[in-house]
Structure 1
Amino acid sequence: MTNTTFKDQTNLLEKINRAIPNSIYIFDVVEQSMVWFNERVQAMYGYSVEEVRAMGPDYWAQTMHPDDIPYLAESLAKVLSLKDGEVIELEYRFKDQKGEYHWLSDRVTVFTRDTEGKVLSLLGVATDIDDRKAYEETLKKTIEKLNMSLGAANMGTWEWDVLQESARWDARMYQIHSGESNMEANALAEFRKRIHKEDAEIVQQRFDEAVRLKQDVYLTYRVTWDNGEIHHVRCYGRFLSPGQDSRIYGVCWDSTEEIQTERQIEEARAKLIANTKMAALGEMSGGIAHEINNPLTVIQARAFQLTQMVESGRPDTEKIKQAAESISRTADKIAKIVKSLRSFSREGSNDPFDIVSVKEIISETLEFCRTRFYNHGVDIVVEEVDEELEIECRLVQIEQVLLNLLNNSFDAIQELEEKWIQVKVEAQDEYIDIKVIDSGIGISEEEAEKIMLPFFTTKEVGKGTGLGLSISSGIVKSHNGELFLEPRTKNTTFVIRVPRLQQNPE
């Protein structure tokens, strides 16, 4: 009966050993060598027990990652002081017979002692965690990428626990609200301390409404720094209600310069109309917020997606990679839009002439209106432009002329079934032609004779001042060039002709 029981136990242990997906081993502390390990080790890493035993005291040097050996030596000292039944968990890299390293999570305990209680051998159960480490590394890079993207957009992130009435800010949030990254301060107390008194009530109402209706919140408010400066903050929050744990996650950014720029645009718009300056920027001002808010929404959505994956414990490496790439592309788009916005907010007539890439002129101008065109079903086609092609000009003014032509084409083709605009560059010996071609069938000869005159417009009443082309023509002439409607073309074609180099700029 006893023999039968022993055989049953032996068979059971063998079955358990084969079924366990972990590597099990016994390590001789005195000899500093491996005594035994199960078949799983040889199956996964290629070593036989005899091969590892032959390594003797060199076992660590031959199989462990050099960077992990000091950590393992320190951990061994801790293991030797373990009491029976206690376990220590280690993570390290193990080299297989092919020379490739694998991350292991190892649970180690004392296996045998001598009569004096000194540890003789250790029992370890190691699990291959390559997949987990790869995910952690991907997640780390994704978070770094996210932080870089948020940093590029100068955004801070925040979390508000509605039920607990508590909030968490990152360092950038404190800097946005106070000018300093003092993370020791209570986030809600700091917010209430800094918010402008005139804005406090409406902000509270907006957040209360978001909680009541379980919806997202988007608002702008002012904060006061210790030095007395007033800063404008724009804030977007996404409401989440998983079960009873209601939270709002969001981003904030200092929009002081952005708002100041918007005011400059409005002032420029009034000045342009009042003083017969170019009206193109005024026509585009309504699309500024849309151009900026779209990419910000993408960043928030991707950040929310990453948060959900982390909190759910179900990471998807491919989705993490896609989210990181989307965040990177979107941050670049925001930077381009802001750069264009700053350029177009200036009048530019006092700027010096500079050597500028024609491709840069077209690219920066399109960044300012591409989304608006796309949303209205207008295709933009830009023929390949030689990167080395340059002209001497006032960049802001030439961009304004190009923008005005693009806007005119946009307005002209709105009612057409086929809507497209093409930008084409032709290089001559002494000058460059930038052509804006649209799907319109051209302009009558009668209108063509008047189209460059001040206050003449083919647009409906209230949709144009009639100043754009006349002012644009004046700008191009100040560059010793010419703006004209190309005759006898199948589609409406305007040409900005500018010399490569300025001889006597006005």
Structure 2
Amino acid sequence: MTVDRRSRPENILALAAASGEAELTDNQESVWREVVKRVDEVYSDLLRYEADLESKNAELEEAQSFISSVIASVSDILAVSDAKGGVIQTNPAFLALLGCDEPQLLGRNLPELIVEDDRAQAVQFLHGCAAGSCELRFMTAHGLSDMMAINFSPRVDHAGRFVGAVLTGRPIGELRRAYQALHSAHLDLQQAQRKLIEQEKMASLGRLVAGVAHELNNPISFVYGNVHVLDRYRKNLAEFFREDEKREDFETADLRRRYRIDAILADLEPLIEGTLEGARRVSEIVKNLRRLSFNRAHEAQAIDLERTIGMAAQWAARSKRHQVRIDIEVAPGLSLRGNEGQIHQIFVNLIDNALDAVRKTADPHINIRAATADGEIEIAVADNGIGIADDSFDKLFEPFFTTKTVGEGTGLGLWISYSIAREHGGAISAANRPGGGAIFTLRLPSGAQ
């Protein structure tokens, strides 16, 4: 604003004289001086307002320059639209993304710049009054942009009326990869923590089990020794009564019938066999517990797989009452090096589980196949049972996990088998067969130690 110099107070009287009033009366002069005073005050106010206005304008220009520089330096894309979705302002990042100049972009309908498949979710924010976020792509001069994480914020005027929207966003590729890496690291940390806790629990449990196994060994030895002696006595008594029966003593025969000697002798054999079987099972459990408690190295030796698998199948089937067809297919001359007792234990455990799985199957069948595959020896034990439940796969090889009822299993078989396989440089995996049933696959290096 610029004040006209002709309106200065000292020029007022000269202007009045020039207008034809050469002589002024006292009253007129007093009036004119009052007018001059008022004009002088107005003029001073005008000068002050002009200075204030120039200062405010400089501040406004500085603020606008600051905001423009900030917007230009932001790496995120930014676009401002009116209530109809037209672009009224943008930043260099958005122009660089689209590959166009600002004059080409201003006034264009913002939804037209968005890929058609992603357009609907953006329109609801551009024409609405609610903030929100979504993922979408833009059509650029070089094709489709990367997927962008977009935030929409409504713009309102002084009366609170919706006048447009502000769009900001950035590519989500790097952000998503960083999040996935962080998420993966977090999962790994959680898994490591769980393993650490389980290892500490298993270490404590191992010490307890070692003591229990040691204490059980003595009474089991007593049972074994006594039962074998008892079986020898039974045989001697049976032979004695057979010899005594030949003498045809009427009184002795009557006593035999009265005390049911023949029935007792007939029952003694299965009773002793059952006791021995129970002792063997308890001994096997103790061995499993001791193997769980200690990690002892064993001398490696050559293992004939066909003989070992056949023996394991006989041992496992002997303890079951139901008949199961077991087919064994072993490649000729297949062998490996390792601890034969431990490898035999794996086969017994896998076959025993398969026998339990087909217990309620109409035509129970187990197929055991051993061959070389990719430089490894692969032994697969397949059954036609009910298969493995989906929620059991991640717990199959955990110690003490079992789907059997109490008294049918300890849940140590697969854990011990997995540990033995790993000690030999191999692995065990489980899967459901497409035609029904489950298959456990043991893989060992041909030169396993």
Greater strand share, 1 or 2? Answer: 1
* Greater C-alpha radius of gyration: 2
TM-score normalised per structure 1 = 0.35
Report the TM-score, using the length of structure 2 for normalisation.
Answer: 0.39
Higher fraction of helix = 2
